[in-house]
Structure 1
Amino acid sequence: MPLSEHEQRMLEQMERALYAEDPKFASALEGSGLRTYTRRRVYQAVAGFLVGIALLMAGMVAKQIWISVVGFLVMLGCAVLVVTGWRKVPKPGEQGAPGVRRQVRQRRSVMDRIEQRWQRRRDEQGQ
């Protein structure tokens, strides 16, 4: 459920107050920690994928099917982690950028106008 306009204004006021009070702390909360954590997780998953390939090949060379199956499962799990983790990485400057919020507000206002027009048409047809 999206925030109401009042809640958005309150949130923006709190953010501005936080930036004014402690800009260093506010910039630390901006999302760079999340970005670093997520990228590290993606890199670990890529390394795990390479280990899975090695297990798959070792199982084929040793003619042990179960090692190959384990290697394949490791590869599959790591591939899923890479794909889901990479989508979650915030772009630099994405969080805390005032332009992003403005775009969301503009889209919402467009949607509000469309909904108002739709409601007026329904009201006019009902009369």
Structure 2
Amino acid sequence: MPLSEHEQRMLEQMERALYAEDPKFATALEGSGLRTYTRRRVYQAVAGFLVGIALLMAGLVFYEDGLIWISVVGFLVMLGCAVLVVTGWRKAPRPGEQ
């Protein structure tokens, strides 16, 4: 439901007053920082997932040497990173949202 003209003017006045009173706080509330943080977290989790795949494969290559635990660690890294991607993706604000 869109705001009426009066409500939009009131909101703009409140924003201007907030910027005039405390510009640092107002910039922190803009929301782009959260979006950037969430995006960076998702990218890091994807990179970690790829590292987990590499560990999983390395453990399979060295299976005969008794280093299967590397595969287990790789799987756990992949699982943890997948959870981070899913939770980070759900928490990410949509473009245009505050």
TM-score normalized by the length of structure 1: 0.55
Q: How many residues align?
A: 92
Q: CA deviation at 1:92?
A: 2.1
Displacement of 1:9 in angstroms is: 13
Q: Deviations for 1:63-108, whole angstroms, at most 9, x for unmatched residues?
A: xx100000000000000000000111112220xxxxxxxxxxxxxx
Deviations 1:25-72 (A, max 9, x none): 6355210001001110110000000000000000000xxx10000000
Structure 2 gaps of 5+ residues are 62-67
C-alpha displacement of 1:17 = 2.6
Counterparts of 1:75 and 1:6, CA distance in 2:
51
User: What is the CA-CA distance between 1:18 and the residue it aligns to?
Assistant: 1.2
Question: Highest relative contact order (Cα 8 Å, sep 6+), 1 or 2?
Answer: 2
- Computed over aligned residues only, the root mean square deviation of the Cα atoms, in angstroms, reads 6.2
TM-score, normalised with respect to structure 2: 0.69
1:53 and 1:37 map into 2 onto residues whose CA distance is 24
Moved >2 Å (runs of 4+): 1-17, 19-29
Distance in 1, matches of 2:59 and 2:12, equals 57
Distance 1:53 1:26, change over 3 A: same
